[in-house]
Amino acid sequence: MKHVKASMQVDRSFVVGRVDPRLFGGFVEHLGRAVYEGLYEPGHPTADASGLRTDVLDLVRALDMPVTRYPGGNFVSGYNWEDGVGPRETRPVRLDGAWKTTETNQFGTNEFVDWCRKAHSAPMLAVNLGTRGMEEARQLVEYCNHPGGSYGSDLRREHGYPDPHAVKLWCLGNEIDGPWQIGKKTAREYGRLAEETAKAMRMVDNAIELVVCGSSSAGMPWFAKYEAEVLEHCFDHVDYVSTHVYYNNHKGDTPHFLSKPDEMDRQIKQLAATLDFVSAVRKSRKRIDISFDEWNVWYHSHEQNKTLPEWTSPRPLLEDVYNMEDALVVGGMLITLLNNADRVKIGCIAQTVNVIAPIMTRKGGPAWKQTIYHPFLHASRYGRGVALRPVIDSDTYENADGLATDYLHAAAVMNDDGGVALLAVNRSLDAELELSVRLGGFGGFGVKEWLTMCHADLEAVNTEAQPETVAPETRDGATVKGEEIRAALAPASWNVIRLGQP
């Protein structure tokens, strides 16, 4: 077998920052079968008294998603939140222009908060700044968070929720710069609206945190300029700037596809530089952090989506079936988020169930784990604590953009139990990677566990009939001598090496 080499230096004194648990968040939009037949399916064999699928809840709880964004996404820019509260029999059926779907509104804000509580997650609610504005946003905060004695809070109590939902995290719209967005706005238009909406929402509840939209992707021609101009208006009133990215392998160039997490790293650093520039211009000590609240691989379902009839409910859109190479890219993106934990405080994989998601379901049938479920589970479980700054010296290859790409993509996290988790992807398709890791300031460590995931066929997928085709397994062979760990990572593999005192 061919071999490539990489070394990695990690020292407990050199840190990126503490990992905010909200880095491992999810996302649920009224899109496709994310809600209906995903979270909510009355009559399903596993449904509870509220119609929530408990098989899905079990899988989501295992992922330990501290926060879940809702209800969109593009959907929110045409959504009336009032349609989704109160008696179900009086809720109107609406046309959702974003996804050409009929929305029944049988699942809304209160049902989502109930689901979050059962999923051990916290709601991250988005307000509609496409077709609506500050008054409707202010009213939603009152409905959700005010204890009682006002119209909105008493309406919530009338709907069966005497206690406030206490929603902490709010998004000021979604991808408002996108030409596809209902109610697209220029940076100045949106910046002013975001400023006044933020002020109005905080007049109801000053304890909330607010996420303002940045460019919908780094590929937009106004990326960075848009963020800077928006923040000229609302800098003093928001806490985070949102950024999104999706990657694909339309060209069938796997080495290039596997290098995409490096592109994500550049996007984060460019955005952080922009945020700091605005702070510097304003002579401010305030630091705006990043909410990476949509990220994933997305492309498998594009052709299928074109064949689906419009104005149905649910319309099974964006049902990507993920393969082994997708899992490597998702794992690489998680590594990138960890290596930027000082600036990225919130992350939401898009999405959670059925729609470009780690979990799939069949109506009336089972739920199962897609390939990308496993690296997310590992990162969420073992990537908490303090992210250490790795110094990597790796053999490289040239990607399609002519950039040198390390075969090794890795992160190191010092867990709160004193151990260290190494998360690594070997991006070589045909060579074993001889890895040497030197730990500084960690004496007497041994290998507690080595989890790995690989498959001879990078296009292998998990299905309802064969849900464990691609799954992690434990491996032996990592050695420790003093402060040096050696391991041979299989070609095209995802790895978690957990280190600690014997």
**Concatenated DSSP letters for 175-225?**
-TT-TTSTT---HHHHHHHHHHHHHHHHHH-TT-EEEEE--S-TTSTTTTH
pLDDT of residue 443: 81
pLDDT of residue 502: 78
What's the one-letter identity of residue 171? C
- In 228-366, at which residue ranges do the beta strands (DSSP E only) sit? 240-247, 289-297, 344-349, 359-361
pLDDT of residue 425: 98
Q: What is the pLDDT of residues 182-236, one digit of tens each?
A: 999 999 999 999 999 999 999 999 999 999 999 999 999 999 999 999 999 999 9
Residue 118 token pair? 């059962």
CATH of 2-10+389-500, one of 3.30.1050.10, 2.60.40.1180, 1.10.10.10, 3.90.1150.200: 2.60.40.1180
Catalytic residues: 175, 294
DSSP label at residue 103: E
pLDDT of residue 302: 95
Helix (H) or strand (E) segment spanning residue 331: helix 324-339
Share of the chain above pLDDT 90, in %: 98
Pairing of strands 289-297, 240-247: parallel
Q: Look at the alpha carbons of 167, 208, 225, 184 in this order and tell me if their dihedral is positive or negative.
A: positive
From the number of C-beta atoms within 10 Å of its C-beta (0-12, 13-18, 19+), residue 114 rates as middle
Contacts of 402 (CB under 8 A, 6+ apart): none
Instruction: Please give the distance of CA 434 from its chain centroid, rounded to a whole number.
Output: 31
Closest CA to 188 of 237, 226, 224: 226
DSSP label at residue 367: E
Q: Within 10 A of 309 (CB to CB), how many other CB atoms are there? A: 7
> What's the pTM value of the predicted model, to 2 decimals?
0.97
What fold is seen in the domain 20-382?
TIM Barrel (3.20.20)
Residue 129 token pair? 């700044």
Q: What is the pLDDT of residues 406-421, one digit of tens each?
A: 999 999 999 999 999 9
Q: Where are the domains of the chain?
A: 2-10+389-500, 20-382
pLDDT of residue 184: 98
What's the one-letter identity of residue 291? S
pLDDT of residue 482: 87
The rounded distance, in Å, linking the Cα atoms of 175 and 241 is 11
Residues of the chain under the 70 pLDDT cut: none
